Structure 1
Amino acid sequence: MTDSKQKAIDFTPMYASHDAFRRDLERLASAVADGRAATPAVGAGWENFKHQLHIHHTAEDSELWPRLRQRVAGRPRDLAVLDEMEAEHARIDPLLAAVDSALADRAPELPDLVRALGATLDDHLKHEEDSALPLMQDALTPADWAGFTGRMRETQGLRGAALFVPWIVDGAPAADRSAFLGALPPPVRVLNRLFWQSSYRRRGLWVQA
């Protein structure tokens, strides 16, 4: 267990990312229901969703879960949670591929596949929030968490951050938007306000024609 005097990990960016994944799948489901799945805006939104989810899950698999396994070694119940996290990631990948193919082929089963992906991902995110995040808070050190967030920043790079930050807050409630941006370094907030936000809007992800 971490030292009781140790500063708690701030999971605001993690929760914000989860909310953005849920939001994008709701937008996809709406586009499919409205017959807009083949539009460029929906295609661009879907491609970005896959990109962001890939970065998120890859960093968890390569940096977060291994660090946490080291901290909870000898604790079978906690190790079982990590096994479940990895198994859930593996179940999501084929659903992403199936939706990808159905979108390309305009297949009639697309609505069912989108619903299956949404339900599976939402179940995983809720499980992570309810079980894995408390475990991280209990067991990880600041250095462990910094290793994970550092891998995320390294993978995204400045160009990726210019998309990631405004994507996270796109359509977010004012309080959530403020909390997420408040957790970022001041220079990042300035870049987002002056440049990134307007560039993101021009991309028109998910926008109805």
Structure 2
Amino acid sequence: MGCEPRRFDLTMLHAAYDAFRRDTARIEAAADAGGTPRATAVANTWSLFRFHWRIQDNAEKSALWTVMYAKDADAPGRLGIVLDSMAFRGMRVVSQIDALDAAMEHRDRLMFARYARELRTSVDALLDFKESEVLPLISDTLTAFEWGTFDVEFRRELGIRGLGVFLPWLLDDAPDATRRAVLQLLPPPIRLFYRTSWRPRYERRSRLAVPAY
């Protein structure tokens, strides 16, 4: 029994990555359709993407990747190489987020279209790499306590008010199987708040954020 591999539930990570893919796809689609950075729907999607990306990135770096790097420090091997490759891909995403931010701020339609496409490509490449190369290493590298620390750090970054935005954003347009899997991880009061308050509020705001093309 002591040799059985650890298995951690990565449902929330996969759901978050899919939500990021969804947002960059929506932004690119808006750009391809001739949308402008001033469009309310575009600005709303971008704001939510950027906010949750920062929280996710901070929590992963402090509670996952830093800990995994430390375990590889004395005898550098495949783990360090994989994490370095992930970090390189992450740097590309950061630079393109900054560029798209500038395009949004200056209402530059051409730059918005260019960086919307580039950002989606880079985000997809980073998240695909994480899911195929990095996430499988978590159960081999981290203890149950260390994995649990990530959840604590993420909740600290998000805050209780942020949860009311995060959950409906996370499950926006998600497949039924993903929605059920995520909600099953949450206590009944949180599921109730999601269904009766958070999701309706999110949907009302989304309906108001119609494209202003």
Cα separation, 2, equivalents of 1:92 and 1:205: 29
Cα separation, 2, equivalents of 1:200 and 1:16: 18
> TM-score normalised to the size of structure 1?
0.91
Cα separation, 2, equivalents of 1:187 and 1:69: 37
Give SS of 2:61's match.
Answer: helix
Equivalent position of 1:50 in the other structure: 50
Q: Indicate if the aligned counterparts of 1:85 and 1:124 stay in contact, CA closer than 8 A.
A: yes
Equivalent position of 1:81 in the other structure: 82
Deviation at 1:106, TM superposition (A): 3.0
Deviation at 1:201, TM superposition (A): 1.2
Deviation at 1:7, TM superposition (A): 4.8
**1:152 corresponds to which letter in structure 2?**
F
Aligned residues: CA RMSD: 1.8
Q: Indicate if the aligned counterparts of 1:16 and 1:176 stay in contact, CA closer than 8 A.
A: yes
Report which stretch shifted further, 179-188 or 119-128.
Answer: 179-188
Deviation at 1:75, TM superposition (A): 4.4
Give SS of 2:8's match.
Answer: coil
Cα separation, 2, equivalents of 1:48 and 1:4: 42
Cα separation, 2, equivalents of 1:130 and 1:78: 13
Equivalent position of 1:99 in the other structure: 100
Counting matched residue pairs gives 207
Deviation at 1:79, TM superposition (A): 1.0
Deviation at 1:88, TM superposition (A): 2.1
Counterpart among 196, 199, 207 of residue 198 in structure 2 = 196
Deviation at 1:59, TM superposition (A): 1.1
Cα separation, 2, equivalents of 1:29 and 1:112: 9
Name stretches of at least 5 consecutive residues in structure 1 with no aligned partner.
none
- CA distances 1:121-142 after superposition (whole Å, capped 9, x unpaired): 1101010001110110211111
In the alignment, structure 1 residue 141 sits paired with structure 2 residue 143:
yes
| Structural mapping, 1:103-118, within 5 Å | 103-107=104-108, 108-118=110-120
| Structural mapping, 1:1-209, within 5 Å | 4-5=3-4, 7-37=6-36, 38-73=38-73, 74-107=75-108, 108-204=110-206, 207-209=209-211
- Give percent identity, aligned residues only: 34
Name stretches of at least 5 consecutive residues in structure 2 with no aligned partner.
none
Give SS of 1:171's match.
Answer: coil
Report which stretch shifted further, 156-165 or 5-14.
Answer: 5-14
**Ranges of 4+ aligned residues in structure 1 off by more than 4 Å:** none
Cα separation, 1, equivalents of 2:188 and 2:150: 21
Report which stretch shifted further, 190-199 or 178-187.
Answer: 178-187
Cα separation, 2, equivalents of 1:195 and 1:109: 37
Deviation at 1:82, TM superposition (A): 1.3
Q: Indicate if the aligned counterparts of 2:6 and 2:140 stay in contact, CA closer than 8 A.
A: no
